[in-house]
Amino acid sequence: MQEPVLVLNANFEPIHICSTRRAIGLILAGKAGMIANGRGHIRTISQLLPRPSVIRLEHQVHRPRPRVKLTRREIFRRDNYTCQYCGRRDGSLTVDHVIPRHMGGQHIWTNLVAACPGCNHRKGGRKVDEVHMHLMHVPKEPPANAAYIFGKHLSDNGEWEPYISGW
């Protein structure tokens, strides 16, 4: 009952991921309709309910455009879990400020990169050019499109592909 379900707006725009339990509640309340059932059925005492994979809301929900939250996990995901100084794919990555905070660097997408502990220590509280290091990619805010936001779930839920790729 805790498997993820893709929630589409009335115009088929992907807007959220909820649990199977919540999706069935929305369907039974008449607030959503099932679009794809790729997971079998749920047996209750009196009926057999399909287990949804994708649902669509009956009424359009107006909401602001989503933005990717600035977190450690999202910085690592944006940088493909790779040190941006040496290119090492290490499990113990840290977050580094390209322009250190004490020199006026801000805690924003364009000033944060993933770095291995060795490179982060070597750079210390100095600027990149002071220690003769180079960034592999210029840091920027990741796109807030459906493919980036919901793409991490596609490997487990292949039936979501047509609904995510169009946005």
Q: What is the pLDDT of residues 98-148, one digit of tens each?
A: 999 999 999 999 999 999 999 999 999 999 999 999 999 999 999 888 878
- What residues are paired with 34 via a beta bridge? 55
Q: Is the pTM of this model over 0.75?
A: no
- Distances in whole angstroms, Cα of residue 3 to Cα of each of 39, 51, 114: 10, 10, 30
Backbone φ and ψ of 37, nearest 5°? -125, 100
Spell 3-15 as b/e; 16+ CB within 10 A means b: ebbbbbbeeebbb
In terms of DSSP H, where are the helices of 68-145?
72-78, 117-123
